[in-house]
Amino acid sequence: MRLFDMDSLKEILETLSKNKSRTLLTGFGVFWGVFMLLMMSGGGSGLKQLLSRNFEGFATNSILVVADRTTKPYKGFNRGRTWNFTLDDVDYLKAAIPELDVVAPVNAMWGRNATYNGRSCSGTIKGLSADYRVIEAPSIEYGRYISEADILSGRKVCVIGKRIYEELFPEGGNPCGNFIRIDGTYYQVVGLDVSNGQMSINGNSSETIVIPINVFMSVYNNGNNVGLLAMTARSGSESSVIQEDVRQALYRKHLVSPDDKSAMFVMNTAQMFAMVDNLFRGVNILIWLVGLGTLLAGAIGVSNIMMVTVKERTTEIGIRRAIGATPRMILGQIMSESVILTLSSGAIALVISVAILSLVDMVMAEQKIECSFQVGFGTALITAVTLSVLGIVAGLAPAFRAMAIKPVDAMRDE
């Protein structure tokens, strides 16, 4: 008896159909294990994409620093001293720490009123350098971003966010070339940034108006002070080491105690992103552990019920042995029943779970949320292989028991 030839397949299906309730009970354990595994896998993938959208466009190797009050006296200065970064610190850090790739100064003011053609809205105005686009990548729909030429020439130009655009230009179209007024100063719109990432510095990008950093300092009488420094590390550099080098370099320049950890706030996004990656890696491991555990429980159920089935078919197996069936034939039939039962249950679970996840994707699409909760082909393939292995393992004990049945014992049992 060959494994899965047409005659044996027909015989197996007939055997399974004779015990419908038992077959359904056996298959449900496998079905539930596959269903849970695929649903959790698809759900975990979708949630990861949703969370990743919040970080879209933000540099994963950036370091952000903000000056704070000192907490220790140093070189004649009392504790509690207020100190600030300056525009000179940009070139100073680049020269002092070669591992830094980009150093971008950031100034911002919240709740500023912007007007155009009788319409007005409130937003955040940011003074940035051209390099800042490396830290928080813009998505330019019209025009361009702030350039180095704008800064060198001191041009009063701006790049507006999506919500600012929708409120000042409700009719749509290209806003570039128009002048908007902010706090009594007119700026020419040179770009529209429609990025939708939820992670940004000093306010959401959709509610932001970006102007050149030197223009910001001049208009708002900022002197040479910078509120925040954003920087990125070169490829292959250890960000945790660089952040300490940045701290010590700025402390030396501004005469702050090297032991005063509280005098400067440092945020290392590389560490934050690593934590998120580790979180989802742990979630994936948990999903597979739970799914495989459920599958294993289903396989044990298959094995137990197959053992009962073999016991009930003792006479049938004995007669077959008496008329010439070899142990290999008996082994093939029992193993085939086990594999077919697990694979068919898994296939049904796969179809149903994919259908449910497709409905979730459709709902997300209607809400204009770009993410997919579907399971990958690799996951489905691994699940199929795992089911086949579990089906074989589940059928081993019943198959060996069936092989051990002798015709004389079968007749005595009858």
Burial of 123 (0-12, 13-18, 19+ CB in 10 A): buried
Cα-trace Rg, the chain: 34
| Beta carbons of 98 and 242 less than 8 angstroms apart | no
Q: Where are the domains of the chain?
A: 6-55+274-413, 84-255
What value, to the nearest 5°, has the Cα angle with vertex 238 and ends 237 and 243?
Answer: 110
Cα–Cα distance between 203 and 262 in angstroms, integer?
24
DSSP letters, 378-409, are HHHHHHHHHHHHHHHHHHHHHHHHHHT--HHH
* CA–CA dist 272, 55 (Å, integer): 11
Structure-token pair, residue 257: 């105690």
Per-residue pLDDT of the chain (414 residues; tens, 9 = 90+): 444 445 444 554 455 455 555 555 566 777 777 888 788 888 777 777 777 676 666 777 888 999 999 999 998 889 999 999 999 999 999 999 999 999 999 999 998 999 999 899 999 999 999 999 988 888 899 999 999 999 999 999 999 999 999 999 999 899 999 999 998 899 999 999 998 766 667 778 889 999 999 999 999 988 889 999 999 988 877 777 888 999 999 999 999 999 998 999 998 887 777 777 788 788 888 877 887 787 777 777 777 777 776 676 666 666 676 676 676 777 777 777 777 777 778 888 888 888 888 888 888 777 776 777 777 777 777 877 877 787 777 777 777 776 666 665 555 555
Mode of pairing for the β-strands spanning 157-161 and 179-182: unpaired
Q: Is 219 helix (H, G, I), strand (E, B) or coil?
A: helix
Task: Classify residue 144 by burial, with Cβ atoms within 10 Å: 0-12, 13-18, 19+.
Answer: middle
Calpha distance 146→140 (Å, rounded)? 11
How far from 317 is each of 199, 272, 314, 331, CA to CA, in Å? 68, 63, 5, 11
DSSP three-state, residue 152 = helix
Residues in a beta bridge with 159:
191, 210
Q: The pTM is what?
A: 0.67
Q: Do the Cβ atoms of 336 and 2 come closer than 8 Å?
A: no
DSSP-assigned beta bridge partners for residue 65:
229, 266
